[in-house]
Structure formats: structure tokens, C-alpha cells
Structure 1
Amino acid sequence: MTTDPFAQFKAAQRESWALFSPLATFTTLAAASLVDFAEVSQGEVVLDVACGTGVVAITAGRRGAQVRGMDLSPVLLEDARRNAAVINAEIEFLEGDAEALPYADATFDVVLSQFGHIFAPRPEVAIAEMLRVLKPGGRIAFCTWPPELMIGRMFALTASYLPPPPGVASPAAWGDVNVVRQRLGDAVSDIRFQRDEMTVPTLSPQHYRAWMELTAGPLIRLVQTLSDQPDRLAKFRAEFEDLSRQFFVGNRVRQSFLMTRAVKR
């Protein structure tokens, strides 16, 4: 039996992302953009990887697709089931790891992920798994955060205070089209990219920072880690607010993202 070298890291992620549900509300419009971009249609069998509260899965299900969702967090999966129950959607939500998807080869017509698979520590493992469960000729599509924009720079700032364990890739690298092309490699054809924007309503950069500290996994872990280092925590908060000001306009923070779509050979 192989021991997962990142088991402890994943356990910490499972705990920190458990509070994400309130923030998921702002991802609903992005979910529609992703499902549109992937051209999900009635009758297709679709997987939502790292599905969180199920916003992508439910959006795809409302198109008439047969959908399954998988996530590391049992807390978020309970919220996903409740969300699906509101419209009586028959969606199977399973607890699982993006690096070891609990599905057979070539099961799905479409594999999606909205800002989720990017947190798998080994991108090459996660993308291989997503392609493994996808049928030849099927479509893979996902949303990611460009490294030069708000959330990508937030990842870099957070990592400067709380570096990831050795061997864990930055989630922001998934927002670089050249990196995405390299990771998908020759396994796919017809790669397409498109930009979109998600906005988070907030009264100020300070309000945005406080909200993110309560709901975003990386910030939750960082604040916990720096709880006994008030000077460093105050410095981080000031830097985060300075970053947020660059994307704050009209009582909202602009969070631009990248969508990728490709066809499995």
C-alpha cells in the first residue's frame, strides 16, 4: 500500500476549506460561465472535480446533464447535497481526492473544475486523473486564477508568509496559459482559453480582507498560524489590503479568471 506523501497537507486543506460555503455564493455566475464555455448539453455524463458546494454541478444538472460531484471536504459536500435538494436534482456527491478520483476510466463526457483542482499538491497527478476518467473525444474545462491578477497575487502573498510544503505546486501556476498547455500536453487537442471576471461586493478593502479570512482556506490557515505573531499578522493584513485596493472599485473587488477547455484525444 502506497502512503500519500501529502496526506497531512490534504488533511489541513480539508479542515481550512470547511468554512468556504458563504464565499461560494459569489462563484455562481462563474459557474454558469464555465458550463457555457464547456458547452455542457442534455444527457451528457459530467463530473465536477473539487465541487465544493455544488454550484457547477447543479448548473450543469439544470442543463439536463447527468452529474456527479467530488470534493475533499465532507462539510462542503453536505452543503452541496442541500443545494441540490432545493431543486430535487439527482446528483451524486462523493468525498474524494482529486489525485485519486474514485471513478473508472473513460466514465465521463465532460470533466469540469471551478478553482478546485488547482489546490491538489501535484498538478501532474490531478490532471492525469481528470483525463483518465474522461472519455476519448470528451471535453475537459476548468477555471483558474492568473498569477498576475488579484487572487494569483494573493496566493503569492500568502505563500510568502506561510510557504507550502516541499513539492507542493502554487495554485496560481494554473492561471498561466503556457503552463496549462504544458500540463495538458499531447493528451488533448483543440485547447481554447477565455477570460471572465467574478466580482465580490464589499464595503472596503478592509471588509474584503476580513471576509476572506473567514472563508478562504489559505487565509484561514495563515491567520491561525500567525495568531501568536501579532506584528507579522498586522503586516500581512496591511499588504493584503494594499493589494485589494488595486482591484477595488465601486464597492466590489474584481477577480478576473481564466477558463480553459480542451478535447481528449
Structure 2
Amino acid sequence: MTQQTTLDHELKARHRAMWASGDYSAVAGDVIPDLGRVLVQALEIRVGDHVLDVAAGTGNAAIPAALEGGRVVATDLTPELLEIGAKEAAAQGAVLTWSEADAESLPFEDGEFDTVMSCVGVMFAPHHQDSADELVRVLRPGGSLGLVSWTPQGFIGQLFAALKPYAPAPPPGAQPPPLWGDEAHVRGLLGDRVTDVSARKELLEVTCFARPEEFRDFFKAAYGPTIAVYTSLGDDADRIAALDQALVDLAAQHDLGNGRMQWEYLLLTARRS
């Protein structure tokens, strides 16, 4: 095993542990429950379509796709999230397959799927070109690709900007997740392998945090990337307090009144050439 391969394995192990921490199912189910349905509707998934959801988490897009009649395979690097998703799917009467898989090395044949999608998922894989290559590879010619990604200038993009001064330096080659919310970046990743590209910025209404402090406390306890940064600070009380205040300030800046926020995302669809 080469040194680079070893480093990649260690990086993926950290990512897996990060997303297993906290309570991402609460983020997906309570904060952004409508986002997956937006993607499924944009893709117009039909009965019998063979659908792959990459970095599916707990299934906020995979489950609605299955309920529309798609033959869905939901994959994620973190098996703990898949287990939660499987229980939620059963509760909703959705039938789909759950499979642990790395977005940068998918265990599927070329052109195997009619539709490939990812809802604020694949954007967190560290090597963007590797992930994009895999999304395209497993999609049949003429098949549909759909992505929802947080934008750099939107709320979650700004959350990552707020976390950055407190976080350890990223490993060489790892790219910032919100770049997937930049249309030019995604077009560059996909190149001429796709056609009929449609990209538009949309706003997700978020109303579950009455005060900025509620947002901070929830994301500090439930959201893996935020938990990882706080963990890296150890017992440094001053830096913890500074990050606490930074997150409160961020939420306050985006509060439109009565705890209402709008989180910007990029919805991009395309067809495999």
C-alpha cells in the first residue's frame, strides 16, 4: 500500500467517524426535510427507473425516489446513517437497497443507472474530480444527473467559512465542499460528458431555530463537521467561546425575523452525453 493510499484510507475513516457523530438524521429530518423531495421532483423519477443516490445519508432523497416507484440504491460512506435510513424507509413503506460505498470509487458497472443523484452529499467527498467522474461513469447515456449542493455564499457555505479559522488544516488535495454549489466549478468537473445542463440557485426556508443560540447548540451537538471542529479545539476555552459567538453571529446575520432563515443551494440537473 502506497503512502498516498494509506493517507486516503485514514482520511475516509475520519470522514466516516465525523458523519457518524452527532445526529445527522435530525438535521435531515427536522431542518432540511423538503430538500430531497425537491431533487426528486426536478429529476421526474418514474416507476421502474434504476436510481442511484450517492452519499445518501439517511435517505432524504432516496426514500422519496423509492416512493415515486424508482428502483433505488442508496449508498453512503457511513453505515450508521444507512441503518437509520433503512428504519425510516420501512416506517414509510419505501422499498430500496442500502449499500456502503465511497463516492470516489463506486462499486457499480459503467452505465448501470438511469438516474444518479446526490442531495448535499457528494459535495462532502474530498476529491471533487474523482467523485464527478464516478457520478458520470455509472450513469447510462441519456440518463439524468441531479445534484443539490450548498452554495459558498449561502448560509451553510458561510458556516464552513466561520468554522475554517478554528479547524485543522485540510489534507493536501482535499477541496472545500461548498465549491459544489458553484455552477462553474461543477460544469468544469463534468465537462462535455453531460448535456442539457440546468442550474439555478434556490432558497430553502428554515424555521426551526427560534433564536441564534438554538442554531448554535443544535449544530454543535448534531452536525458532524461542526462537532469535529469543536473536538479539535480540545479544552481551549477561549477558542471554544470565540467559535460559539461566531456561530451565534452567523445565525443572527441570516435571521429574517422570528427565527426564519433562508439557506441557498444550487440545483443542477443534466443528461449524460
Shared fold, TM over 0.5: yes
* Maintained 8 Å contact 1:50/1:71: yes
**Matched residue, 2:151:** 146
Q: Are 1:39 and 2:47 an aligned pair?
A: no
- After TM superposition, the structure 1 stretch with the greater mean CA deviation from structure 2, 145-154 or 247-256, is 247-256
Shift of 1:159: 2.0
* Maintained 8 Å contact 1:139/1:261: yes
Q: Are 1:23 and 2:27 an aligned pair?
A: yes
Whole-Å Cα distance in 2 between the matches of residues 182 and 200 of structure 1?
A: 34
- State the TM-score, normalized to the length of structure 1: 0.96
Match for 1:215: what amino acid? A
**Matched residue, 2:74:** 69
- After TM superposition, the structure 1 stretch with the greater mean CA deviation from structure 2, 3-12 or 46-55, is 3-12
Match for 2:182: what amino acid? D
**Matched residue, 1:256:** 264
**Matched residue, 2:14:** 12
Q: Are 1:223 and 2:223 an aligned pair?
A: no
Q: How many residue pairs were aligned? A: 265
* Maintained 8 Å contact 1:17/1:215: no
* Maintained 8 Å contact 2:75/2:99: yes
* Maintained 8 Å contact 1:35/1:59: yes
| SS of equivalent residue, structure 2 residue 186 | helix
**Matched residue, 1:116:** 121
Give every structure 1 segment of 4 or more consecutive aligned residues whose post-TM-superposition deviation is greater than 3 Å: none
Q: In structure 2, list runs of 5 or more residues that go unmatched.
A: none
Whole-Å Cα distance in 2 between the matches of residues 58 and 65 of structure 1?
A: 9
Shift of 1:21: 1.3
Whole-Å Cα distance in 1 between the matches of residues 272 and 176 of structure 2?
A: 25
- State the TM-score, normalized to the length of structure 2: 0.93
Whole-Å Cα distance in 1 between the matches of residues 181 and 101 of structure 2?
A: 24
Whole-Å Cα distance in 2 between the matches of residues 197 and 167 of structure 1?
A: 30
Whole-Å Cα distance in 2 between the matches of residues 263 and 94 of structure 1?
A: 24
* Maintained 8 Å contact 1:6/1:121: no
Deviations 1:14-65 (A, max 9, x none): 1121131111113221111111111211111101101111121110011111
Whole-Å Cα distance in 2 between the matches of residues 209 and 253 of structure 1?
A: 14
**Matched residue, 1:232:** 239
**Matched residue, 2:200:** 194
Q: Are 1:98 and 2:103 an aligned pair?
A: yes
Shift of 1:200: 4.5
Match for 1:22: what amino acid? A
Whole-Å Cα distance in 1 between the matches of residues 149 and 225 of structure 2?
A: 16
**Matched residue, 1:52:** 57
Whole-Å Cα distance in 2 between the matches of residues 179 and 87 of structure 1?
A: 36
Match for 2:112: what amino acid? T
| SS of equivalent residue, structure 2 residue 34 | helix
Whole-Å Cα distance in 2 between the matches of residues 21 and 4 of structure 1?
A: 30
* Maintained 8 Å contact 2:35/2:60: no
Identity of matched residues, %: 36
RMSD over aligned Cα, in angstroms?
1.4
Match for 1:76: what amino acid? L
User: Residues 4 and 141 (structure 1 numbering): CA distance in 2 closer, same or farther, change over 3 Å?
Assistant: farther
**Matched residue, 2:174:** 168
* Maintained 8 Å contact 1:28/1:56: no
Shift of 1:227: 2.7
Whole-Å Cα distance in 2 between the matches of residues 263 and 217 of structure 1?
A: 32
